Structure 1
Amino acid sequence: MNNTVSELSPHLYTLFNGRNLGEKQHEAFMLLTVTEQSLPHTAMISVGEVIALTPTSLRLGLWENTTTTNNIIRTGQATIVVFYNEAACYIQLELAKLPDLSDAKHPRTRFSAKVVACREDKAQYADIISGVQIRLKEPAEVLERWEETLLELCR
């Protein structure tokens, strides 16, 4: 099954809603951009770096001066790849840089993102049973930082 729409499905919206981060702390996603040489570039992001404001509008808070951040500033595009709910999900985004927050506790380059296309891919002959999973080394500290970062993204 393979459906393309221009908004997040309810389960993806719930995944990215910024709530219950402790339950979602092991989920990680691939963020794909394109380099100046037109080559694909892959980075990892977590639920502490992306928040869905609506099913069609997200915010991302990325580390400053990274290849990924610079690619997004240059192209205004990225794709998030999520393996979740027994599906491979591809979320194509158009992004715009947001102003820096002078009082940010955790400075990030912030982006507003519009969902251009969201495709969920499931095979009839097999279930996807896992995707990218992480184990936080200091969960309490990281979860607190994620919560603060997501609050700053909503400003």
Structure 2
Amino acid sequence: MQRVTITLDDGLIEEIDRFMSTRQYATRSEAVRDLLRAGLAESSEGAAGPAADGDRACVAALVYVFDHDRRDLANRLTHAHHDHHDMSLATTHVHLNSDQCLEVALLRGKAGEIRHFADHLTAERGVRHGRLVVVPLDEAEASAPAQHHHD
């Protein structure tokens, strides 16, 4: 077993401590190991799911929270979206409080490109709680026009 040192903000430590208390963990290390395993398993399931084929057409929702006061972060996120405008269908931006914003980006394109874009955005320092939901499209859905009418 190896020892790893990480820095966590006070709010996250409080959440881990509540998690520990609820689940009756004896140590933070045990709780963090289980949380990491769960996160890695979820990440692996997403990568191994139906949209794992990087060339497969899909739609996706990328949801993330970020600190808009973090140095130039909002500009970097905006530029990233502009650099990938071809896959962007819509973005919703919500102010959660004086510091935090939530964005939901609806994307369409190849699964591998969307996953790469999502990984890039959620890895930015100051982005928290990033989650990507990928929905694979069959050939008919992938070739259908983006706009349609409901009866």
TM-score, scaled to structure 2: 0.29
In terms of fraction of residues, the more strand-rich structure is 1
Which has the larger share of helix? 2
